[in-house]
A and B are shown apart, each in its own frame.
Chain A
Amino acid sequence: MLAALIGYLGDFDLAEESVAEAFATAARRWPAEGTPASPVGWLVTTARNRAIDRLRRDRVLAAKLRLLEATRPAVGEDEVDQNEIPDERLELIFTCCHPALATEAQVALTLRAVGGLATDDIAHAFLVPAETMKRRLSRAKTKIRDAGIPFQVPAADRLPDRLDAVLTVIYLIFNQGYSAPGEAGHLAAEAIRLGRVLAALLPGHPEPRGLLALMLLHHARRRARLSGPDGQDLVLLADQDRSQWDQRQIGEARAILAGITASRGPYLVQAAIASLHTADSVDWPQVAALYAELAALTGSPVVRLNGAVAVAEAGDPAAALAIVDGLRLGQYAYWHSTRAELLRRLGRGAEARAAYQAALPLAGSEPERRFLRQRIAEC
């Protein structure tokens, strides 16, 4: 609904205020007069008419009003059919994830405008004061208006790049929810919902479906991922209680992956890897091959690090250690802990212990630090 209004008005704030007014009017009138035949249509039309009233009152925007009235005449509130409301969610998503906005603003704006989350809720999930988030959203909306960021789906030649930005934003939202399940846990489900919307709106593009499958596969394991009285301990994949996995989500992800035969982008390859991880017995050589495919697509050293883990699991920890030692990721906790794990398996206990200790100050969360301390004690 908000998407339709923003598309019509080209103004986030005016659209939000008008929608709020329309809901307030509905709350007053529907109990007495009955719910209209098309409630959403009624709300959109009412919001649209309220917006036009506001613009009419605002003489500075007289020119804009003339334009509006010339192109789309105001209609009676009971005359609309819901099917006439254009679905402009895709335009809204691309506007919110426009590269001329800072990534943190893209994330916040997508959650607010597309996801419909409250500003306070977004602030809480990203651990920033509500005032900061309010300013961040307000600055982004002002830039969209004043810099002329268009409300449209990019042209075909620009679409792949712009789609990457949208996928990144949705995956960032998911990871925020996944890595901080306490404050932001609901963001993971919200990201999956956004992923579904995007996949449905862009049926010709396989990568949104790849991202959706990837998120479903991670999310399916959320209950088995942490243990201990307060969910403080990280449980490695091999040690997870599989009866806690959400088989419905895993099945949905596998069905998505099975339905795609086109060339694979990074999200699809990651989803294929995650899918192999949920098999009863993991095909590690195949996982290692997929990581090699992903590394070729992304050129990422972190991907090569993950590939090394698969090489070790496939039975060759010495070859894995050689890969890891060739990567310059000394600032990354997982590089140290992976080295430590490989050294431990190769029977080089003292070096393993030193590597676990190097990982400790770089670890990002308390469950990770607890896991590392446990390993240090065992070495």
Chain B
Amino acid sequence: MQYALLIYTEPKVMESLSEAEREALSADYYALRDQPGVLGGAGLQPVTTATTIRLAAGQPLVTDGPFADTKEVFGGYYLIEAENLDRATELAALVPALRLGGAVEIRPILGQAS
């Protein structure tokens, strides 16, 4: 099965890191990208760059900021192939964000032959 690992981080924690810590973290994310079973993924620019669009009275309404105003923000994802949820959870446990108080939401991809 394929799963998306949706990574949520606390911007405050990220900002508090030194340059060297940030580089080490980035290297860990790239290393995870090379694990067997990881098909792809991407990291996102900080949430301060986010723009949200919805329809208001049928018209597009563009606003500054993320969709949900929460302490943790969506920061990136991996797309993985795993035999079942337990295997997917093992891979998700390696996401560096977890060490910094973040969380990873594991979601199966739609439209797979089960």
Contact = CB atoms under 8 A, between A and B. Distances in A.
30 contacts: A63-B113, A64-B113, A64-B114, A98-B85, A100-B85, A100-B89, A145-B114, A146-B108, A146-B114, A147-B85, A147-B106, A147-B108, A148-B1, A148-B3, A148-B82, A148-B83, A148-B84, A148-B85, A148-B88, A148-B108, A148-B114, A149-B85, A149-B86, A150-B83, A150-B84, A150-B85, A150-B86, A152-B84, A152-B86, A154-B86
Interface in B8-23: none
Q: Chain A interface residue count: which class?
A: 10 to 19
Interface in B48-105: 82-86, 88-89
A149 B84 CA distance: 6
A70 to B, nearest CB: 15
Contacts of B85: 98, 100, 147-150
Nearest 9 Cβ contacts at the A-B interface: A150-B84, A148-B84, A148-B1, A148-B85, A149-B85, A63-B113, A147-B108, A147-B85, A150-B86
A63 B3 CA distance: 20
B65 to A, nearest CB: 31
Contacts of B88: 148
Interface residues of B, number: 13
A106 to B, nearest CB: 15
Contacts, number: 32
Contacts of B113: 63-64
**Which of A63, A98, A148, A158 gathers most chain B CB within 10 Å?**
A148
Interface of A is mostly: loop
**Which of B82, B84, B86, B108 gathers most chain A CB within 10 Å?**
B86
Interface in A87-138: 98, 100
Contacts of A149: 84-86
Given A63-B113, A148-B3, A150-B85, 18 more contacts: A64-B113, A64-B114, A98-B85, A146-B108, A147-B85, A147-B108, A148-B1, A148-B83, A148-B84, A148-B108, A148-B114, A149-B84, A149-B86, A150-B83, A150-B84, A152-B84, A154-B86, A158-B86
Nearest to B86: A150
Contacts of B83: 148, 150
B80 to A, nearest CB: 12
A258 to B, nearest CB: 37
Contacts of A158: 86
A148 B113 CA distance: 12
Contacts of B89: 100
A63 B85 CA distance: 21
Nearest to A158: B86
Nearest to A60: B113
B40 to A, nearest CB: 19
A147 to B, nearest CB: 5
A260 B88 CA distance: 37
Contacts of B3: 148
A98 B84 CA distance: 13
B89 to A, nearest CB: 8
A72 B47 CA distance: 52
A158 B108 CA distance: 22
Interface in A147-181: 147-150, 152, 154, 158
Contacts of A154: 86
B112 to A, nearest CB: 9
Nearest to A67: B113
B106 to A, nearest CB: 8
Contacts of A98: 85
Interface in B25-40: none
**Which of B1, B85, B89, B108 gathers most chain A CB within 10 Å?**
B85
Nearest to A151: B84
Contacts of A63: 113
B107 to A, nearest CB: 8
Contacts of A145: 114
A319 to B, nearest CB: 41
Interface in A304-348: none
A149 B86 CA distance: 7
A148 B107 CA distance: 10
Nearest to A150: B84
A148 B86 CA distance: 8
